[in-house]
Amino acid sequence: MKVVPEDISRIIRNTDNFVLMTHLHPDGDALGSLFALADILESQGKKVFRYLEDPLSHLYEFLPGCHLGQTDLAALQTFVAGANGNIAAISLDCGDCDRLGREKRELLNLHPFLVIDHHRGHREFGDYRWLDAHRSSTGEMVYELAMELDVEPSYIAAYNLYVAISTDTGSFRYENTSPRTLQIAAELVKSGVRPEEVAGYVYDNFTLQRLRLMEQVLATLQLFEADQLAFITVTNKMLADCGAMREDAEGFINYPRALRTVKVAVFLKETPEGGVSVSLRAKGGCDVAEVAADFGGGGHRNAAGFRLADQKVSEVQDQVLQALKKALG
């Protein structure tokens, strides 16, 4: 049996121009998959537009080839027009077309529209889909696609794929880490990627603003249900006080999650528009994808999230606490 659906690999082989995109507020898997696949396609003489909704976060400026990302919609339209219909769009690591962002409508107008994703509870969109919730990361799927296309990933592609896979598995610690995940990681290391270099950029690369923000965010820790549920919060005021950016709070949820008694950690983030975005991380039994789905969100069994507009952090905390008490029981 083919790993990559036949129609996906056929369209990619027979097309010369591609628009690649991913979800808004992209993480390591989203960006690593995008830059890796772009490099893989270009190595086959194809042309690629790497579409990003917003300029790249400083956290990911170490990704090789990241400067090729483009945010200009007019440039995208010119690229599409120049392709004379010989074009395909590929959405990577996006579980819901609403997460394609502001230009969703424009992007979904591109055909054929291919979707490669590993989110559980993926809400189907696009013309052709390769969905596999058993995969650790979209990066793992992009590697399989490269194998299907007979492309040996370059150092640039391998580096981006290693970032994608290692970040989505929490450095190969989460339950999504399979024998195949580790095999692929080994192949990427054989291509010259140095795990300690990537870990240095991902984990040991704090700005002082980020550390100050962490002080404030960890000070908000609240525990419930015999310390099985942990909540932390970041507000717009904390960001301003520390001179930090929203993306500086990435990964903070792993600290309450690491508490030995904790089954679910919750990170409440005030949005610039005054709503709240909620990240959920579970250890073991509790399925937080189901909890997130009840609030209109989604994700994986152990990592999920959702967003509520026009609500205060304290109101959202109460609702989430009630839902999690039920989920634990």
Contacts with Mn ion by CB under 5 A lie at 29, 93, 137-138, 168
Tell me whether residue 50 is exposed, middle or buried, using C-beta atoms within 10 angstroms of its C-beta: 0 to 12, 13 to 18, 19 or more: buried
Measured CA to CA, the distance from residue 308 to residue 304 in angstroms comes to 14
Which residue's CB is nearer to Mn ion, number 15 or number 136?
Answer: 136
Element at 115 (helix H, strand E): strand 113-117
Which residue's CB is nearer to Mn ion, number 39 or number 93?
Answer: 93
Which residue's CB is nearer to Mn ion, number 121 or number 275?
Answer: 121
Measured CA to CA, the distance from residue 272 to residue 26 in angstroms comes to 17
Which residue's CB is nearer to Mn ion, number 29 or number 53?
Answer: 29
- Give CA angle at 117 (114, 121), nearest 5°: 120
- For the bound state, the minimum distance from the C-beta of residue 229 to Mn ion, rounded and expressed in Å, comes to 25
- CB count within 10 Å of CB 326 equals 10
Alpha helices, H only, 15-71: 28-42
- For the bound state, the minimum distance from the C-beta of residue 94 to Mn ion, rounded and expressed in Å, comes to 9
Which residue's CB is nearer to Mn ion, number 251 or number 275?
Answer: 251
Measured CA to CA, the distance from residue 296 to residue 294 in angstroms comes to 6
Element at 280 (helix H, strand E): strand 276-282
Query: Do 266 and 233 meet the contact criterion of CB atoms below 8 Å apart?
Result: no
Residue with tokens 């609702």: 319
- For the bound state, the minimum distance from the C-beta of residue 267 to Mn ion, rounded and expressed in Å, comes to 17
Measured CA to CA, the distance from residue 126 to residue 138 in angstroms comes to 17
Residue of minimal CB distance from Mn ion?
Answer: 29
> In which region does residue 226 sit, left (phi positive, over 0), alpha (psi from -120 to 50) or beta (all else)?
left
Which residue's CB is nearer to Mn ion, number 133 or number 259?
Answer: 133
- For the bound state, the minimum distance from the C-beta of residue 300 to Mn ion, rounded and expressed in Å, comes to 8
- For the bound state, the minimum distance from the C-beta of residue 33 to Mn ion, rounded and expressed in Å, comes to 8
Instruction: Write the CB contacts of 144 (distance below 8 Å, at least 6 apart in sequence).
Output: 3, 4
- For the bound state, the minimum distance from the C-beta of residue 91 to Mn ion, rounded and expressed in Å, comes to 12
- For the bound state, the minimum distance from the C-beta of residue 107 to Mn ion, rounded and expressed in Å, comes to 19
- For the bound state, the minimum distance from the C-beta of residue 129 to Mn ion, rounded and expressed in Å, comes to 15
- CB count within 10 Å of CB 52 equals 22
Which residue's CB is nearer to Mn ion, number 137 or number 160?
Answer: 137
- CB count within 10 Å of CB 104 equals 16
Which residue's CB is nearer to Mn ion, number 137 or number 154?
Answer: 137
- For the bound state, the minimum distance from the C-beta of residue 29 to Mn ion, rounded and expressed in Å, comes to 3
- Per-residue tokens: 124: 């189907």
Which residue's CB is nearer to Mn ion, number 263 or number 300?
Answer: 300
Q: Tell whether omega for the bond before 112 is within 30 degrees of 0, i.e. cis.
A: yes
